Chains A and B, each alone.
Chain A
Amino acid sequence: MGGKSAAAGDVYFFQRPDTLKEKAKEVLPMAGSDDFGGARLPSDRLEANVRYLRGIFSGDDTLQVRHVASPTEPAARFCLIYTDGMVDNQLLNEDVIRPLLQFRFRRGGEDLTAAVGRSVTFADSAERTDRVEKLVQGIIYGDTVLLADQCRDALVLNTKGWKMRSITEPESERVLRGPREGFNESLLTNLTMLHRKIRTPDLKMHYLTFGRRTRTKACICYLGSLVNQKVLNELKKRLAKVDIDGVLDTNYLIEEIRDSPHSAVKTIGATERPDVVAGRLLEGRVALFLDGTPTVMTVPHLFAEHFQSDEDYYLNYMFASIGRILRILAFTISTSLPAIYISMVNFHQEMLPTPLLISVSSARQGVPFPTALEIVFMLITFEMLRESGARMPGIMGQTLSIVGALVVGQAAVDAKIVSAPIIIVVALTGITGLMVPRLKGYVILHRFVLLFFSCVLGLYGYLLGELALLAGLFGMSSFGVPIMADSYARGFQDYKDLVFRAPWKDMLRRPQFLSPDKVRQKGGGKPS
């Protein structure tokens, strides 16, 4: 930092003779367009260039223009252009403006901008350019553009400094044990978090830009020696085709490039946790970071990943395995229970034991609606309650759930609008549905398809629907890898991380299909 005691020396600069002065033809780009088509600064006159850049940003009041002139040499005139709020003001004052005012400028030597860039400013990055596009992008993204009189080039100084969210634990991916940090909205911060987890030059990172208007920076990350080249090439190929004017979240890209775009099953993973991204890269997957969103996408994404929680790997493996089995069970219950209930009660009464039949039958007495309609009503009501509860602030959410529980549960049964067993079935269906939050959307769809088939054809229809849905799942792939790939399990190493989680010392191989380098560890840790 240039403090007050900063030694202010002499700086020599070259001044063009006035004869070179030319009449600037100020060509303004079309309003609203981002395409500068390789335009360059129009003039070497400070005022003309300032007017030109102001013209581009006409209607943007956050643009700040600060004129500076050296007290020792009137010919050394500068202009700083930056966006208010995007720059670190202290940095700008101490490292840019103060040295400009303190250094003694003398004629002779090099261009003024070159001299400033080399010998005056303390900013860590000072790029000299006359390309309008770079200048404009710099101004927009927190850099300060320094224009000098009698210079065709400008300096782009890195003075970025805006307020951003601190690193917190992601709300949707909380863990009881394990790393608590989550990504935030800054691409660089996110990349550093990954760098800190995987300290190897094998970690490759390539920048890309998306969005004709938003110019959002993105970064593809993978481990060079583990990545499946086919997947990587496929990803790059698809990303190259993306032509959208704005990218505000990873989902914009996901929906542009995903396989089976109209399926409710995810074929691209998303997470907000650096440890999850690191874990997936170590299995040979590819991650795509996007500036402005904490969500990072990973490919390929297998169906089994829905049931895997990052916490599984931080907890005791037996406990984690129980959790995983419960999640798979919950998925099955949540999709099948209403369908099976309908089948049993309306088609195959003989499958109910007599006491159960009597109790369900007596509960149904006086209920005006058919069971099928009842269950559809209640399932929709539950989804509404869940959806409204999810968007409500804490206190309101509580009120909502109490009213919902009272109205839906107690009152509806007492008023004989619905029968009591339906409430139990719907509640169980709903609760188990929440156990696999990543499959939320798909579960609802799967459930209603099965329910429809069961309402029409009973258990036969249920099996028919289940077969059709499963066949659909087995036919899907994610970037060339079948999403049910690890369901064709052949031996222990294929099961180790599927239905249960094996202890780390036994996870000798990486998941098949994902990486050409299959061996994760050779012998496994064995107590001696």
Chain B
Amino acid sequence: MNRIKKAAALLEAALIALLFTGCFSYHELESLTIVTGIAIDKGAGGTKYRMTFECLNMSGGGGSEDAQTPQAVVLQSEGDSVFDAVRGVLSESSQKLYFSDCQEVILSRDIAKEGIRKVIKWFLSDAETRVTLRFVVSEEPTAAELLQQEVQTGQTPALEISGALEEAYSNSLACLPLRLYEINAILSRPGLSLTLPGVRVVREGEKSWLRLGATAVFRDDRLAGWLPEERVPYFIFVRGKVNGGLIVPGDRMPGVTFEIGENRTDLGVTFSGGVPSAEVRTETAVSADEIAAGEKNGDVGGPSFSKLQSAAEETVKAGVEGVIQYVKEKFGTDIFGFGLKISRDYPSEWEKLSKDWDKTFLRMSCRADAKVTIRDTSKLVEKELEP
């Protein structure tokens, strides 16, 4: 009997402990408003931030017939800090906002110019937001207007942008998407300057839609300017983040397009008399997928296999050298990571250079060396398949 009483008391204690302390984070899914995107602008009414939240409005649900795709709803609030603005939106929403599925944060140009370090702080420390959050900069006057555009293929503007970023990361060279933890890492050490993808609105008559645009270049955490779209692919080449995409030789060999299979980029830095000079070596495996030069199949109108190869190599080499020159002239900030490379390979040299790295970067000579291997030509070139 005594044992039973003891066991009962123990069970009771355990149950009370469980029931009174448990369930603290029990939330029903429908009580959460899922935030898919956030836009941050400067506040209008004297406050510092004006935040726009794109949320999913779950209507329908239940049976199979009225299962609808959720509609995007936009909520706005202002505050003196990011957290203040986030809390402020609660007075507009009947439900708790849920940030774990937020895809990206859109920064306005003004916010980017002021410096983004203080903006990302809240996203880094909050428990719900993910470190895999992507950040983009709006090329339009405000960031909020991007979230109010019509969508083309995605469910909501934020989801559409995140889809485009995902595609850019793996299949095209449109931009180099960065996640929150990568941005934080870049900002917390010298030797590599931050770049963020830009998003703009394309307008054609009545219609308008979203598009990935130029890439925003930062000096430290402040927006310094925009790297034009056509130079972005070669910037990605230097950064060594090519996962796919095309090489279009253009005038060098009209009508020919290469698809990149694999790419390896080596940054080599050498010192002569304390002055560094860099060499960018790329090794790319491509397939020639479109050769529209000849009149009929098998006739490629002259370009032989080796000519194809050298055209691709020249294109990459010129592109890479061009973008480095452009960045030096326009922004004077090292977005390629030469400094990072030196800090790793020559720590003692880097001690001397790190303070004034941007100036040294301007003086540094850069050379590019591109090597392209054509894996296959889709039978468009039949002869001369030399080693």
Q: Chain A interface (Cβ within 8 Å of chain B)?
A: 345-347, 349-350, 354, 357-358, 360-367, 370-371, 413-414, 416, 419-420, 453, 455-458, 461
Contact = CB atoms under 8 A, between A and B. Distances in A.
B273 interface: no
Contacts of A361: 29-30, 32, 34, 56, 58, 61
B100 A362 contact: no
B165 to A, nearest CB: 14
A362 B101 contact: no
Given A362-B61, A414-B63, A370 B22 contact: no
Contacts of B56: 358, 361
B60 A362 contact: yes
Given A354-B101, A358-B34, A358-B70, A364 B28 contact: yes
B62 A458 contact: no
B100 A364 contact: no
B34 A456 contact: no
Interface string B227-261: 00000000000000000000000000000000000
Given A358-B56, A457-B18, A363 B23 contact: no
Interface of B: 18-19, 22-23, 25-30, 32, 34, 36, 56, 58-64, 67-68, 70, 98, 100-101, 103, 128, 130
B27 A346 contact: yes
B62 A357 contact: no
Given A360-B29, A361-B30, A349 B62 contact: no
7 contacts: A349-B32, A354-B36, A361-B34, A363-B67, A365-B62, A367-B62, A455-B26
Contacts of B36: 354
A365 B100 contact: no
A360 B100 CA distance: 15
Given A363-B61, A419-B61, 7 more contacts: A350-B130, A357-B29, A358-B34, A361-B32, A362-B61, A371-B29, A413-B62
Contacts, number: 94
Given A358-B56, A456-B19, A370 B61 contact: no
A362 B19 CA distance: 29
B300 to A, nearest CB: 45
Contacts of A416: 61-63
A198 B59 CA distance: 69
Nearest to B129: A350
Nearest to B99: A350
Contact of B28 (A346, A456, A458): A346
Interface centre among B56, B61, B100, B103 (most CB of A within 10 A): B61
Contacts of B34: 354, 357-358, 361
B64 to A, nearest CB: 8
A371 B62 contact: no
Contact of B25 (A365, A453, A458): A458
A347 B62 contact: no
A350 B128 contact: yes
A419 B67 CA distance: 12
Contacts of A455: 23, 26
A167 to B, nearest CB: 48
A346 B18 CA distance: 16
A361 B130 CA distance: 20
A378 B101 CA distance: 29
Nearest to B101: A354
A367 B36 CA distance: 23
A413 B64 CA distance: 9
Contact of A420 (B18, B28, B62): B62
Given A349-B100, A358-B56, A364 B63 contact: no
Contacts of A414: 62-63
A350 B62 CA distance: 22
A470 to B, nearest CB: 18
Contact of A345 (B29, B100, B103): B29
A365 B128 contact: no
A358 B62 CA distance: 13
A457 B100 CA distance: 20
A224 to B, nearest CB: 41
Contacts of A458: 25-26
Nearest to A411: B63
B53 to A, nearest CB: 16
A360 B58 CA distance: 10
A351 to B, nearest CB: 9
Contacts of A349: 27, 29, 32, 98, 100
Interface centre among B18, B32, B103 (most CB of A within 10 A): B18
Contacts of B58: 358, 361-362, 364-365
Contacts of B59: 362, 365
B128 A419 contact: no
B117 to A, nearest CB: 25
Contacts of B23: 455-457
B31 to A, nearest CB: 9
Contacts of B128: 350
Per CB-CB distance, the 7 closest pairs between chain A and chain B, nearest first, are A365-B61, A456-B22, A350-B100, A364-B30, A416-B62, A362-B58, A414-B63
A347 B61 contact: no
A457 B32 CA distance: 19
Nearest to A344: B29
Nearest to A461: B22
A416 B28 CA distance: 15
Contacts of A346: 26-29
A385 to B, nearest CB: 21
B76 to A, nearest CB: 22
A453 B62 CA distance: 27
Nearest to B25: A347
Contacts of B27: 346-347, 349
Contacts of A354: 34, 36, 101, 103
Contacts of A370: 28
Nearest to A348: B25
A367 B26 CA distance: 17
Contacts of B62: 363, 365-367, 413-414, 416, 419-420
A354 B22 CA distance: 26
B69 to A, nearest CB: 9
B101 A357 contact: yes
Contacts of B19: 456
Contacts of A364: 28-30, 58, 61
Contacts of A366: 30, 61-62
Contacts of A413: 62-64
A365 B57 CA distance: 10
Interface centre among B27, B29, B36, B62 (most CB of A within 10 A): B29
Nearest to B100: A350
A350 to B, nearest CB: 4
A419 B28 CA distance: 12
Nearest to B98: A349
A367 B61 CA distance: 9
Contacts of A456: 18-19, 22-23
A350 B132 CA distance: 12
A346 to B, nearest CB: 5
Given A345-B29, A349-B29, A358-B70, A365 B22 contact: no
A420 B32 CA distance: 18
A370 B27 CA distance: 9
